[in-house]
């Protein structure tokens, strides 16, 4: 439309005011009244869009309220384009106002009242707006008092709500829509959905931040469904408790707990304003003690099929798309991995895995789950992220959800950019890559992410560090002893079994890898078969041997059954001592171990065994014995079985039998396991000789050598010592600390290490973990009464009496002979990693509360270090108090002639928003310290 054109002989176009996916809004002149109007023309009218447009027009025509934009007329142009004329309003949206500043208490309450008045009128007519958000609330003249509600484009009446929702109508805006709206629960969708949205708007007005935050729709939906927003007074403690409680009611997940409609909101608001005590700012009482909540390492797989982008490219609105049939199908596939399945309203499928072994095993399980999901959904983008989340049995939320959402958005963006719109392989984040590097085929992708291609054959690759194989250091003696034991066995020949044990990350797998490489180099004729136990199949008969046979035959699991049978026959045929008849018989029975069944007619004895479980139980071991005897006749044979703590008794008993019966064959077994293997299989090796080697901590000199090889000789000795000390002899920890330094993250403990530490903390009872989390807020040193102050009065002393001696006995803590504070028992964590792991498990609200309570307790105990108090108050969300103590700390630094520290502390205080006299004092210290440092530098230059 061009200026001067006239619509329906009444509305003269003046200019374009706004445009979007639904159409264009013009400023026009109403020739009938002489007043300006907002003329909305539908952009690309199709049947569905025209229906929605007509519906909006009829709803506006039905509503006549000063808080709702006024309907003027609607109709159709000669070109059959629907139009809607509304009163012209000058001003700005509430979203524009909030982008500049949060509202004060009076303005926020005015927004609440005005919007509730508009909604009360709509709800009285059975109309649910369904898209209340700051962008749809116009402040006429820029004043809150002039607020009007706009855009009833997705509003629904009781008459049309159910039918239109079933067809997949637009649902609302993530971050403001009610939970029942996000899940498409049309049976519960009524006026209370608007009340939830209004609660989210008022929360944002009062606090200056949205109630639900997330960079991507997937993360927002998950938080909306499962995460409670912070209470208003947690962010602004000076606001009235009664208002805080009322906003929390509006934001209740259960619609039954919310006010019934806009009129009920007004009634409640009137009651609050009549109560003279409701405006008093009582001290916050929401979080008076560290809660039982814990952040845990979690792996999250997310998938979403590609769909055409919306007409305007906007991601602001959603279409109901709950893939119920697919969700049910996924439950069956996800169950073996221990994954929880959730379907979000935008069509995203989320599978979350937590509490499965240590971080490495959990990530491996999640990787297999992601690969499986990619097979089920070949047209979907699949991503995998690992991180921390508060896991409560419902859909986890937190940083890991945001990370997964970012990966999914990137994957979708790149897939849409290709003409064939084909999704990439599974995309994973850096944390997952670090945990999977030794087991899976991974390649670098764009934007610091990686592609997970497939699981590697066990034993064929070494862990990489900074893009290249990690140097092998510190285990030369163990490698030499193992090599000599095996070479003696092969030259005897005399079958031999060796067991390597050690805790996770100590270097067992790397030693195994180096041993195999050395043996292959020195003995090219050797056959090496490698199998691995898996926590998913732990205890399943022959799962361990099946893994080794599949690897030896080259069976990956994706081939059809006939191809797998051919590979087994080919494996057996490599033993020249076996005749054609024996080959088929042996391959058929080995197929029972591998999980590749042969047809009954493949061999007469196999056919007979199929009819008798007892005969099958006899014939399987005999076939494996025959196979191993023939294989060893061709040359030395080494069977390597890793992670046998997740093995099975049937496999281990059969291997023990082979060791006994092949007395003159060059055969050896190398078992690799965690230290708990003896508890899992306590009597398995009775009657047979097993050479056992327990790996201890990586020697300090070897650890220092690894650091210098990877980070260079220029690293200060103190930093080398810090890394080595923190790793405590664990090779995995040391490599991850090296990676963090190389990537500029030296100040943060890597998630990979925290996940491994978490596995140890998992064995500690929950009550003791809560005490440790409270203690960790103070740092590596804490005081009994200080930790109890963070736990609240109820039961606190009992916790300490019960668990402190227990933790001392288990060498988690140690008691100091002298305490910095008189009459206070002082304790310390035995290892910094345990403290860091406990601290990392604190949810954000517990961490902030803990630091505030710790600061208050330290003040009472007589803490004189102002910097310690300042940091606690800063982390505890008390910037005003933190500023004051940063000033004291800067003064203390000046008194100690430490100008550099004084300047740094003054800058930290200024960054927190110091005011008036305190600001002037901090600026004075900063300028004085800077001047002193300049003079010192000049003096040093002249003397040199």
Q: What is the CA radius of gyration of the chain?
A: 34
Backbone angles phi, psi at 867, to 5 degrees: -65, -40
pLDDT single digits (tens) 82-98 = 999 999 999 999 999 99
Q: Are residues 262 and 397 in the same domain?
A: no
Pairing verdict, β 637-642 and 667-673 = parallel
**8 A C-beta contact, residue 711 and residue 741:** yes
Domain end position, chosen among 87, 118, 146 = 87
**What residues make up the domain containing 740?**
700-748
Q: Kindly state whether residue 485 falls inside one of the protein's structural domains.
A: yes
Same domain, 537 and 685: yes
**CA pair distance 285, 730, nearest whole angstrom:** 43
| Distance (Å, whole) CA 25 – CA 85 | 9
**Do residue 519 and residue 400 come from a single domain?**
no
Is 228 found in the same domain as 144?
A: yes
Interior angle at CA 6, CA 3 and CA 11, nearest 5: 100
Shared domain check, 475 and 344: no
Q: Among candidates 439, 441, 438, 467, which has minimal Cα distance to 453? A: 441
Q: What is the CATH number of the domain that holds 418?
A: 3.30.70.1230
**d(C-alpha 831, C-alpha 814), whole Å:** 10
Strands 637-642 and 527-532: parallel
Domain end call among 429, 455, 481:
455
Strands in 36-42's sheet, in edge-to-edge order, are 6-7, 11-20, 23-30, 36-42, 82-87, 71-76
Kind of pairing between the strands at 667-673 and 496-501: parallel
Same-domain status, 101 and 165: yes
Exposed (0-12), middle (13-18) or buried (19+): which is 167, by Cβ within 10 Å?
A: exposed
Pairing of strands 349-354, 340-343: antiparallel
- Closest C-alpha to 669, from 618, 622, 632: 632
The answer to whether residue 780 is domain-embedded is no
Residue carrying structure tokens 């002489």: 34
Query: Domain boundary residue among 421, 455, 489?
Result: 455
CA angle 367, 372, 378 (to 5 degrees): 120
Judgement on whether residues 270 and 301 belong to the same structural domain of the protein = no
Look at residues 720, 731, 857, 873 and name the one whose alpha carbon lies nearest to residue 791: 857
Both 642 and 507 in a single domain? yes
pLDDT value of position 318: 45
Q: What are phi and psi of 112, to 5 degrees?
A: -60, -45
Partners of 156 in the beta sheet?
A: 128
* 816 occurs within a structural domain: no
Indicate if the alpha-carbon torsion angle 875, 877, 879, 883 is positive or negative. Answer: negative
CATH number, domain of 148, equals 1.10.510.10
CB-count exposure of residue 54 (10 Å: 0-12, 13-18, 19+): middle
Same domain, 643 and 506: yes
Per the structure, how many domains does the chain have?
Answer: 6
pLDDT, averaged per 10 consecutive residues of the chain (944 residues), comes to: 89 87 86 92 75 84 88 89 91 91 90 94 90 93 91 64 38 81 74 95 93 80 78 86 93 92 92 69 47 84 71 41 63 86 80 82 92 90 89 64 87 78 87 82 85 74 72 92 96 94 91 95 95 84 94 84 94 91 94 94 93 94 97 96 93 94 94 91 74 94 94 92 90 89 80 82 84 94 92 57 82 90 91 89 90 94 93 94 95 90 94 90 93 73 53
**How close are the terminal C-alpha atoms of the chain, in Å?**
78
**CATH classification of the domain holding 34:** 3.30.200.20
Counting beta carbons within 10 angstroms of the beta carbon of residue 828, is it exposed (0 to 12), middle (13 to 18) or buried (19 or more)?
A: middle
Whether 789 is covered by a domain: the verdict is no
Q: Which helix (H) or strand (E) holds 480?
A: helix 476-491
Q: Tell me, what's the pLDDT at 185? A: 65
Residue 813: inside a domain, yes or no?
no
pLDDT score, position 641: 96
Within a domain: residue 326?
yes
365 contact partners, CB below 8 Å, separation of at least 6: 299, 337, 338, 353, 356, 357, 535, 536
Whether this prediction's pTM lies above 0.85 is answered by: no
Tokens coding 367: 């990787």
Strands in 502-632 per DSSP E: 527-532
Specify if 798 maps to a domain. Answer: no
Q: Are residues 682 and 617 in the same domain?
A: yes
Name the token pair of 126: 């059975």
Check if 131 is active-site: yes
Residues 347 and 572: their CA atoms lie apart, in Å, by 48
Q: Which one, of 616, 614, 618, 621, lies nearest residue 659 by Cα?
A: 621
pLDDT of residue 393: 52
Q: Which of 8, 79, 131, 244 is catalytic?
A: 131
91 phi and psi angles, rounded to 5 deg: 155, -155
Q: Considering the domain boundaries, does residue 333 fall inside one?
A: yes
What is the rounded CA–CA span in Å between residue 344 and residue 172? 14
pLDDT in the model for residue 343: 77
pLDDT digits (tens, 9 = 90+) for 711-738: 999 999 999 999 999 888 999 889 889 9
Q: Which of 480, 606, 593 is nearest to 529 (CA)?
A: 593
Residue 575 DSSP SS3:
coil
Residue among 166, 167, 165, 229 at smallest CA distance from 197: 229
614: three-class secondary structure by DSSP: helix
Q: Same structural domain for residues 448 and 503?
A: no
Kindly state whether residues 186 and 239 are assigned to the same domain: yes
């Amino acid at each position: 439309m061009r200026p001067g054109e006239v619509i329906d002989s009444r509305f003269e176009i003046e200019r374009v005011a706004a445009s979007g996916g639904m159409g264009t809004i013009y400023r026009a002149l109403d020739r009938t009244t002489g007043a300006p109007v907002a003329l909305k023309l539908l952009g690309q009218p199709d049947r569905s869009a025209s229906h929605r447009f007509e519906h909006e027009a009829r709803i506006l025509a039905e509503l006549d309220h000063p808080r709702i934009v006024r309907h003027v007329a609607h109709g159709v142009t000669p070109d059959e384009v629907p139009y809607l004329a509304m009163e012209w309003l000058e001003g700005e949206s509430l979203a524009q106002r909030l982008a500049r500043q949060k509202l004060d208490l009076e303005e926020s309450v005015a927004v609440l009242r005005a919007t509730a008045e508009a909604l009360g009128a709509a709800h009285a007519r059975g109309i649910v707006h369904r898209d209340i958000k700051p962008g749809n609330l116009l402040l006429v003249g820029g004043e809150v008092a002039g607020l009007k509600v706009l855009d009833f484009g997705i509003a629904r009446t009781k008459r049309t709500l159910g039918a239109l929702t079933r067809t997949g109508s637009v649902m609302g805006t993530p971050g403001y829509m009610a939970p029942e709206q996000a899940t498409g629960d049309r049976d519960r969708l009524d006026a209370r959905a608007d009340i939830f949205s209004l609660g989210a708007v008022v929360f944002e007005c009062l606090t200056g931040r949205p109630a639900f935050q997330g960079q991507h729709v997937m993360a927002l939906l998950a938080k909306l469904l499962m995460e409670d927003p912070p209470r208003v007074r947690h962010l602004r403690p000076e606001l009235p408790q009664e208002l805080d409680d009322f906003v929390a009611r509006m934001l209740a997940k259960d619609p039954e707990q919310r006010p019934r409609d806009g009129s009920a909101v007004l009634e409640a608001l009137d009651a609050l304003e009549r109560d003279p005590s409701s405006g008093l700012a009582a001290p916050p009482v929401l979080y008076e003690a560290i809660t039982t909540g814990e952040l845990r390492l979690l792996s999250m797989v997310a998938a979403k099929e590609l769909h055409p982008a919306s007409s305007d490219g906007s991601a602001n609105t959603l279409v109901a798309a709950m893939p119920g049939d697919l969700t049910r199908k996924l439950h069956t596939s996800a169950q073996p991995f221990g994954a929880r399945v959730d379907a979000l309203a935008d069509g995203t499928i989320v599978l979350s895995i937590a509490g499965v072994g240590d971080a490495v095993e959990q990530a491996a399980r999640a990787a297999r789950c992601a690969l499986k999901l990619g097979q089920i959904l070949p047209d979907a983008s699949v991503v995998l992220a690992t991180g921390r989340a508060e896991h409560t049995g419902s859909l986890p939320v937190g940083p890991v959800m945001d990370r997964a959402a970012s990966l999914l958005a990137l994957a979708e963006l790149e897939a849409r950019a290709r003409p064939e719109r084909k999704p990439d392989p599974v995309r994973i984040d850096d944390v997952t890559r670090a945990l999977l590097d030794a087991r899976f085929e991974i390649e670098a992708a764009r934007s610091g992410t990686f592609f997970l291609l497939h699981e590697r054959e066990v034993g064929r690759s070494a862990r990489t560090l900074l893009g290249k194989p990690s140097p092998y250091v510190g285990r030369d003696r163990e490698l030499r002893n193992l090599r000599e034991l095996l070479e003696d066995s092969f030259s005897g020949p005399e079958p031999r079994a060796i067991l390597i044990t050690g805790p996770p990350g100590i270097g067992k797998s790397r030693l195994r890898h180096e041993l195999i490489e050395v043996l292959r180099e020195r003995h090219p004729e050797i056959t090496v078969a490698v199998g691995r136990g898996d926590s998913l199949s732990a205890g399943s008969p022959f799962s361990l041997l099946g893994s080794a046979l599949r690897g030896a035959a080259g069976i990956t699991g994706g081939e059809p059954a006939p191809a797998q049978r051919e590979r087994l026959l080919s494996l057996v045929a490599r033993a020249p001592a076996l005749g054609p008849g024996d080959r088929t018989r042996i391959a058929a029975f080995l197929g029972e171990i591998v999980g590749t069944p042969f047809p009954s007619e493949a061999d007469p004895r196999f056919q007979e065994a199929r009819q008798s479980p007892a005969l099958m139980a006899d014939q399987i071991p005999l076939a494996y014995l025959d196979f191993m005897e023939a294989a060893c006749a061709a040359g030395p044979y080494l069977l390597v079985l890793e992670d046998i703590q997740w093995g099975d008794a049937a496999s281990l008993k059969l291997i023990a039998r082979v060791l006994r019966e092949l007395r003159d064959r060059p055969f050896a077994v190398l078992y690799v396991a965690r230290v708990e293997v003896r508890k899992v299989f306590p009597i398995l090796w009775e009657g047979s000789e097993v050479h056992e080697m327990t790996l201890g901590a990586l020697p300090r000199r070897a650890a220092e050598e690894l650091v210098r090889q990877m980070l260079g000789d220029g690293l200060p000795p103190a930093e080398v010592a810090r890394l080595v000390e923190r790793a405590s002899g664990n090779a995995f920890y040391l490599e991850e600390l090296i990676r963090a330094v190389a990537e500029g993250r030296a100040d943060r403990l890597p998630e990979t290490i925290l996940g491994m530490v978490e596995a140890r903390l998992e064995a500690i009872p929950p009550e003791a973990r809560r005490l440790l989390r409270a203690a960790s807020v103070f740092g590596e040193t804490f005081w009994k009464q200080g930790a109890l102050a963070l736990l609240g009065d109820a039961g606190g002393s009992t916790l300490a009496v019960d668990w402190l001696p227990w933790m001392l006995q288990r060498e988690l803590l140690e008691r100091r002979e002298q305490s910095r504070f008189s009459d206070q028992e002082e304790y310390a964590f035995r290892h910094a990693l345990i403290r860091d792991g406990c601290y990392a498990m604190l949810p954000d609200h517990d961490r902030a509360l803990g630091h505030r309570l710790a600061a208050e307790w330290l003040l009472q105990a007589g803490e004189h270090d102002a910097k310690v108090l300042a940091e606690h108050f800063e982390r505890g969300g008390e910037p005003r108090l933190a500023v004051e103590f940063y000033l004291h700390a800067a003064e203390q630094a000046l008194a100690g002639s430490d100008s550099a520290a004084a300047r740094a502390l003054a800058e930290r205080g200024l960054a927190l928003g110091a005011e008036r006299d305190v600001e002037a004092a901090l600026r004075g210290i900063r300028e004085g310290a800077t001047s002193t440092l300049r003079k010192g530098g000049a003096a040093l230059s002249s003397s040199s």
